[in-house]
Homo-oligomer: A and B are copies of this chain.
Amino acid sequence: MADSQNNAAVLTRLPQYYRILRRFLQQGIYRCSSEEIAAQTDCSPTAVRSDLRRFSGCAKQGYGYHVKQLYTALGNYLGVLDEFRAVLVGDGAAAQVICQHPLIAVHGIRLCGVFSQTCPAPLPASQTVTGTLAELGAFCRENGVSLLLLTEPIPVHVLDEAIAGGVKGIWNLSEEKLEARDGVLIREVHPFDTLISLCCALKQGEA
């Protein structure tokens, strides 16, 4: 209701703001204006204000935004404070990289397990379980896992088991496209696409 501004474009920017606010907090900045946020992004101050309108409880006219309040409100809105349980399908290197991210290392997502065709080596200093794909479905069910992070393709029947085990969202970093399924949200993620567009820009007149 009245969430008319809940469009796709806004939803790509809210996580950016979240990141920027976290940096502000780390730097001891507790108050900021839409202009200061905009300077860290590609958007205009007007766009920032328009996006953050729904969090107007964290702002005062003439003063700006209360960073801590806004960070919390945003985190709450984005579901990041819910500590969703996740499982990674991928090899040890991918797991190590992903574990380092603040969203997992600090808070937001709780990475409960890492699974692969052959069981990955245990992660250093972590209580994350490792196992083979055959164990994935049961593990999801027993541990209330709702998120699946894919860095490599998995067989369809393994995916079916995970979904049967309660997985509701899939973050797919692999090259293989997943087909849509009822009741399951899928995000195909392709970071290398931006590297290609960088090459393109580099090739066309250097600037």
Contacts and interface: CB of A to CB of B under 8 A. Distances in A.
Q: How many copies does the complex hold?
A: 2
Interface size class of A (residues with CB under 8 A): 35 or more
Per DSSP, are chain A's interface residues mostly helix, strand or loop, or mixed? helix
A97 B93 contact: yes
Contact of A202 (B79, B194, B206): B79
A191 B193 contact: no
Contacts of A23: 175, 177
Contacts of A84: 199, 202
A200 B168 contact: no
A147 B195 CA distance: 10
A21 to B, nearest CB: 13
Interface in A164-199: 168-169, 171, 173, 175, 177, 183, 185, 187, 189-199
6 contacts: A15-B194, A23-B175, A79-B200, A103-B192, A147-B198, A169-B201
